[in-house]
Amino acid sequence: MTAVLITGAASGIGLAVAYRILNDGGHAVLLDTRPVDPDMLPPGSETRAILVEGSVTDPAACEYAVRAGIAAFGGLSGVSHNAGIQRYGTAADTDPELWNEVLSVNLTGAFNIARAALPQVLDARGAIVFMGSVQSLASQRNVAAYTASKHGLLGLVRSMAMDFAERGVRVNMVAPGAVQTPMLDWAVSLADAPDQVRDVLNGMHPLGRVARAEEVAAVVSFLLSDDASFITGETVRVDGGLLTQIAGTPKDPK
């Protein structure tokens, strides 16, 4: 039986992963700081979804979510960690409170949920998929804390992949480019010319657009499945070619 603990499940990529897992007949524990709207889940999946409110920054909340999965489904076979926040600033002007906020959610939160769920995932010889970013591999300006957290997540993925491979557990990361989510909407809304920013974001990706959350969820679902049984320690970019393109390449070179 597929039973996955999904963080950040109330919106964006986390919600898309929840929908995909449940729509495919799996079971899910949905953890978020906000209530998950049951109407956003596949019809008829109510008995296969457990909704838990809590933050990945709280180890007790992570442990509670795992216990809820054990009580409802008899255990967990996988984890999809998607909870994350974006903040802006350089190393010169990011104050320690903001730095700690970002690292607490994006990196320590990943550690907390993994540590809580590992006994179950080890028993199931299952899989863990962390949601990274193209900023796990590169950076833009003015995102010191975010990029540091996502680079740190890459290190955690590789370390866990090595530590638990002999026990049959696979650990991977998905690294999206820009994805149409509420977090992206918030970031774009900060700009003086949001429509112009959206045009720039679309143009940054060789495929000419940002990703849909369900496109990222499909890759997560694959990495959690037995179809990915020989993949571990890997970072799968879902970025529309963003990091493949040489910066400044003309769209129609002559």
Alpha carbon distance 198, 192 (integer Å): 12
CA distances in angstroms from 167 to 82, 98, 106, 115, 225, listed in the order given: 24, 37, 26, 15, 17
CA distances in angstroms from 148 to 48, 57, 76, 82, 161, listed in the order given: 36, 17, 30, 17, 20
Bridge partners for 5 per DSSP: 29, 79
Alpha carbon distance 179, 218 (integer Å): 13
Q: Does 146 qualify as catalytic in the annotation? A: yes
Catalytic site residue from 19, 64, 88, 146: 146
Type of residue at 91: A
Q: For 50-193, where are the alpha helices, taking DSSP H only? A: 59-73, 96-103, 109-124, 144-164, 182-189
Alpha carbon distance 46, 182 (integer Å): 24
Give the count of beta carbons closer than 10 Å to the beta carbon of residue 217: 26
What would the two tokens of residue 101 be? 């906020």
Alpha carbon distance 12, 30 (integer Å): 13
Give the count of beta carbons closer than 10 Å to the beta carbon of residue 203: 11
Alpha carbon distance 206, 40 (integer Å): 31
Active site residues: 146
